Amino acid sequence: MPSENWKEQYAKVLLWGLYTARSSRFKKGDIILVRYGRPGIEMAEQLQKEILALGMNPVLRMTGTCAMERHFFELADNSQIDFNAPGEKELYEHLNGSIYLLSPESLTHLSHIDPERIARSAIARKIFREILDRREEKGLFGWTLGIVPTPELARHAKMRLSTYTAQWKKACFLDDEDPVARWKEIFQRAKALKDWLNSLDVEALNVRSANTDMTIFPGRQRRWIGISGHNIPSFEIFLSPDCRKTTGVYYADQPSYRNGHYVSGVRLVFENGSVRQIDAQSGKEFVEKQAAMDEGASRIGEFSLTDKRFSRISRFMANTLFDENYGGRNGNCHIALGASYSDTFSGDVKSLTPKKKAALGFNDSALHWDLVNTEKKVVTATLTDGSRQVIYENGCFTGPY
């Protein structure tokens, strides 16, 4: 665990993220859910202290231990997998904020579990995400994610815990005198880039690297968003494209850990919006079952680019929160299979209904899985007037910085 001062600093940064991510102000009496793994308990204690001092009500929930999760998926029948505890829906309907501290004790303890059982559990709990999405659209809810370095994360990232913690600290600007001020500066610099991107009338975006040649179509009434407080750290700028139109080949050269499974070298071939062919160096069967979770799981819910001038992440960290924000030599792009983000809608988000989302090509799924490409790449926009413009190359956006 980081030192006491780092905990205080990180708690303040996470709360900045929470406040920034919500479109309306928090107030005394608001309910904030804090979820954490067992190694993150000291960080959760610090957040409880800070939230109480702000006059809000923290609800603390420790996630299941590795043994608990194994027992559940090994022993539960379908009715038990589908079960949601009484009162859970009521809690989510009253939440005003959520902070999730990713602090895993193990990354592979579910590797022997049939992915279809894990998918069934995700589908059963999709209702809670839908509740929070609706509350967020109304300005009643905000959320952020953070990470607590653990020996397991360091081991899978092939680092000593001290080295891993140093990269975590650097990525979150916790080595700055005033980390919150630094995040506010990044937030303002990103605004100029988003304004520039949103000024372009883009019909299609082609992404080309050594192993990727993919075209996505932003669709109508879209906007680029990002670096908005939702993740700490976060350096990505992204949109949710029209999920019905993606074509071409996408390759994720960066490995991924998900639900206890390790995958690497994932190659996806898209036709008419959906994945038609899947290959992988490791974990192919798992990828196939994830993409078959529901109707939207084989389509794209997010397309993202990270400018290496923002990100201080230069190592594989064995956690998507960091890895989707990799800077390094070439920056990164990533796609997410599954659910889209309604806040990439350029109109009044409150007006979005499920029918309207479907008509605009916003994807719906219980899955949201980010797959990252760190290869040197060029992203070219085809504008509605037929002209072309390179918007990203050599790891950087070509617009104002």
Q: What is the mean pLDDT of the chain?
A: 95
Which tens digit of pLDDT belongs to each residue from 92-120?
A: 999 999 999 999 999 999 999 999 999 99
Single pTM value for the model = 0.92
Q: pLDDT tens, 223-260?
A: 999 999 999 999 999 999 999 999 999 999 999 999 88
Task: Kindly list the domain boundaries of the chain, sorted by start residue.
Answer: 4-177, 180-397
pLDDT, tens only, 1-14 = 445 688 999 999 99
Question: Residue 36 pLDDT more than 70?
Answer: yes
Place of tokens 């992203």: 379
Nearest to 300 by CA among 390, 193, 215: 215
Coil, helix or strand at residue 337: strand
pLDDT confidence of residue 306? 97
The DSSP H or E segment spanning 333 is: strand 332-338
* Confidence at residue 4, expressed as pLDDT on a 0 to 100 scale: 61
Model confidence over 127-155: pLDDT tens digits?
999 999 999 999 999 999 999 999 999 99
The hierarchical CATH code for the domain 4-177 is 3.40.1830.10
256: helix, coil or strand? strand
Range 287-306 average pLDDT: 97
pLDDT above 90: residue 122: yes
What number of other Cβ atoms are within 10 A of residue 382's Cβ? 16
Q: Picking from 265-274, 299-308, 348-357, which range would have the lowest pLDDT averaged per residue?
A: 348-357
Q: What is the pLDDT of residues 149-208, one digit of tens each?
A: 999 999 999 999 999 999 999 999 999 999 999 999 999 999 999 999 999 999 999 999
For 292-310, b/e burial (b = at least 16 CB within 10 A) is bbbebbbbbbbbbbbbbeb
Percentage of the chain exceeding pLDDT 90: 96
- Percent of the chain predicted with pLDDT > 70: 99
Is there a contact between 152 and 145 (Cβ–Cβ < 8 Å)? Answer: no
Give the model's pLDDT for residue 199: 97
